[in-house]
Amino acid sequence: MSTRVGVVVFPGTNCEHDVATALERAGAAASLVWHTEERLEGFDAVVLPGGFAHGDYLRPGAIARFSPVMGAVALFASGGGPVLGICNGFQVLTEVGLLPGALVKNRGLRFLCAPTRLRVASARSVLTGGVEPGAELQIPVNHFSGSYVCDGRTLAQLRDTDSVVLRYVENPNGSIDDIAGITNAQGNVVGLMPHPERASDHLLGSTDGLLLLRSMVAAAAGVRAA
């Protein structure tokens, strides 16, 4: 049976179908999960896709944090299940405290929609376990609030624990330390601003996103087998 991935949909999420299609291409069976669900049993991994959850009112991710499904996501993460937040999903994961730091408005105050080059900084996460550190990937970003910030102590901790998983080769948004993606201490919760699902077909100009999604699907299968 293939690996089952739940793709969480908040009101205002808009990347769920792209993510589900890319996950299936990466070998998983994806199902959409409405944000009022309070249980995530039966899934091997959970993805919070991009968009504008709850309209991004107040701050991106601020209201989504109180959606009923987030209790289940926290429980799933604490049990070691792979949880991936893409773009708005990353913002939600920081707001809910599953990942440290915050995403603020881009340096230059421009909405950015462009391919970016990323360097894999660590393979110590479910998303990057299948790629070599140092490898360069081309994956697009699409955000207004994508500039990662955290205090000095958190940044030192991220570096010391090898928790920065992806860095921009050319920093597009002012993120501290060129950070494009981070993971938690266990490596099972990952957030990134670039959209791997938008680099999942030759027609899209890159298939590098599939390398990341395949890593996560493989990690999810491993957790289920364990």
**DSSP per residue, 186-218:** TS-EEEESS-GGGGSBGGGTB-HHHHHHHHHHH
Q: Around Cβ 202, how many Cβ atoms within 10 Å?
A: 7
Q: Tokens 């080769």 belong to which residue?
A: 169
Which residue, 42 or 97, has its beta carbon nearer to other proteins? 97
Closest distance of CB 147 from other proteins, Å: 7
Closest distance of CB 109 from other proteins, Å: 5
Interface of this chain with other proteins, residues 142 to 171, rule: CB under 8 A: 147, 149-151
**Residue 132 annotated as catalytic:** no
Beta strands in the chain (DSSP E): 4-9, 29-34, 45-48, 83-86, 102-104, 112-120, 136-143, 147-149, 164-168, 179-183, 189-192
Beta strands in 14-163 (DSSP E): 29-34, 45-48, 83-86, 102-104, 112-120, 136-143, 147-149
**Residue 15 annotated as catalytic:** no
**What is the identity of the amino acid at 55?**
G
Closest distance of CB 65 from other proteins, Å: 8
Per-residue binding string, other proteins, 36-75, x by CB under 8 A, is: ----------------------xx--x---x---------
**Residue 195 annotated as catalytic:** yes
Q: Which of 16, 54, 87, 143 is catalytic?
A: 87
Does position 79 interact with other proteins (CB under 8 A)? The reply is no
Which residue, 189 or 213, has its beta carbon nearer to other proteins? 189
Closest distance of CB 189 from other proteins, Å: 16
Which residue, 176 or 218, has its beta carbon nearer to other proteins? 176
Per-residue binding string, other proteins, 103-122, x by CB under 8 A, is: -xxxxxx-------------
Element (H, E) at 150: none
Which residue, 67 or 94, has its beta carbon nearer to other proteins? 94
Distance CA 57, CA 63 (A): 7
Total number of residues binding other proteins (CB under 8 A)? 20
20 neighbors 55 (Cβ within 8 angstroms)? no
Task: Work out which of 101, 129, 140, 196 binds other proteins, going by CB under 8 A.
Answer: 101
Closest distance of CB 7 from other proteins, Å: 25
174-to-148, 167, 178, 203 alpha-carbon distances in Å:
8, 12, 7, 29
State the distance between the two ends of the chain, measured CA to CA, in whole angstroms. Answer: 15
Q: Which two tokens stand for residue 9?
A: 């949909």
- Give catalytic residue positions: 87, 195, 197
Positions that interact with other proteins (CB under 8 A) = 58-59, 62, 66, 94-95, 100-102, 104-109, 147, 149-151, 174
